[in-house]
Amino acid sequence: VVVTGDPSALTGSPPTDPVMLPGLNEGSVGPGVVLHIKSLVLIPLSHNGSLANGDKGRRRSRLALYKRPKANGVKPDVIHNVSTPLVSKALSNKSQHSISYTLSRSHSVIVEYTHDINTDMFQVGSSIRTRTHGGGGGQSAQSTISRYACRIMCERSAPYTARIYAAGFDSSKNIFLGERAAKWRTSDGLMDGLTTNGVLVMHPAGEFVSEPAPGVWREISVCGNVFALRETRSAQQRGKLVENESNTLQDGSLIDLCGATLLWRTPAGLRHIPTLKQLESLRQELNAARPQCPVGFNTLAFPSLAQREIVDKKQPWVYVNCGHVHGYHNWGYRKEKGERECPMCRRVGPYVPLWLGCEGGLYLDAGPPTHAFCPCGHVCSEKTVVGWSQIPLPHGTHAFHAACPFCGTWLTGEQGYVKLIFQGPVD
């Protein structure tokens, strides 16, 4: 697994802390992250390639995972049935990974895990849930890390299969599933369970690049089994086991950690996306065409990638209901609706600045930036807007909404995107 960025937060064995993603309020659509296998890169969807306060520690806009010098994967080994007073003693060995299933106040089942020389293990968690964990703060070892994290096991040899599991080991190498978490004995006598708020996965119905189409959201258990969704996100009754589906990640697989949504990309999929250099070239081509405001006749220009969040006087703006691109102006304001009337076609709707989508990992191809998401105005290729507008992302306890992958804004309008109509230079 080849990576970019600072791998220091994830190298070494064992991974006592998960990768920290920017935290959100529970139930929000984004931000999420993109994971690329070979290169395995973490990218917050709603930050468009950069964090507001810059990359610091394990909170980074792009964080990638190396193949470890030494395997640190684990696999189930021994099962213990213990009474509560013996639980702390059974978990005192900090060199042993284990999962504790609390069945009642007087009974727990502890599954010890042993070293697996064939896999590398990586953990990903939402930082708002785990920000003090492992950092010397006041949070105990039995923190909420299990609820808002997942494990990804990558095989160290071809075909480098990656599998996802719910919950993450804490700094004591333990996972705790309390009395309220759904848990059960399997037909073969082993234990399995779900985290309180669930780890959801959706594999694409077809190939993510060639035929982007959403699949069905499922829930992944602690042992990697696939289940239909619960009635609500934290319901104690598990969904039905889906035997013909697996926890193996594929290009376009989406992972939701109840506050952070992740996209998995493979080398085959990444070959179709634009690099930063190509995105800059596309930006320059747009500006070289000298688009003009059809009313003010001033030349418009997309800002550089480094200045993409700063609005200047040449910034292109768009009426998202029709796609006509203008320079900024004050006319056409409808006070009763808080919207604008397009001077070209008289359609009323939001009027927003246009921004180039700068995170290539979210693109489905390297096509020209001809379309924009509504209502946020992030610009990318037609295939990318069409693909993402069809993908429902989890929101709250049981709702789903399509959202812009660059900022996490819910999509609006009939399609969720619009084709841009530029006015060429008069001369």
How does pLDDT run across 283-318, given as a tens digit for each residue? 999 999 999 988 888 899 988 777 666 677 889 999
Lowest mean pLDDT among 134-143, 144-153, 205-214, 299-308: 134-143
Share of the chain above pLDDT 90, in %: 33
- In terms of pLDDT, which residue wins out, 21 or 229? 229
Query: Exposure string (b/e) for 302-337, b if CB count within 10 Å is 16 or more?
Result: bbeeeebeeeeebbbbbbbbbbbbbbbeeebeeeee
pLDDT of residue 51: 57
At residue 31 the predicted structure's pLDDT band, cuts being 50, 70 and 90, is very low
Query: Is 0.95 topped by the overall pTM?
Result: no
Contacts (Cβ under 8 Å, ≥6 apart) of 72: 13, 14, 15, 115, 120, 121
In order of their start, the domains of the chain are 37-130+143-270 (no CATH), 276-419 (3.30.40)
Instruction: Read off the pLDDT of residues 264-280 as tens digits, 9 standing for 90 and up.
Output: 887 778 788 888 899 99
- In terms of pLDDT, which residue wins out, 215 or 209? 215
Residue 176, token pair as written in the block: 């705790």
pLDDT at 383 over 70: yes
Share of the chain above pLDDT 70, in %: 73
Torsions phi, psi for 10 (to 5 deg): -120, -10
Query: Exposure string (b/e) for 272-281, b if CB count within 10 Å is 16 or more?
Result: bbbeeeebbe
Lowest mean pLDDT among 102-116, 148-162, 230-244, 330-344: 330-344
Lowest mean pLDDT among 3-17, 172-186, 360-374: 3-17
Torsions phi, psi for 4 (to 5 deg): -120, 165
Instruction: Read off the pLDDT of residues 155-181 as tens digits, 9 standing for 90 and up.
Output: 988 888 889 999 998 888 889 888 888
pLDDT of residue 140: 38
Chain-wide mean pLDDT for the chain? 78
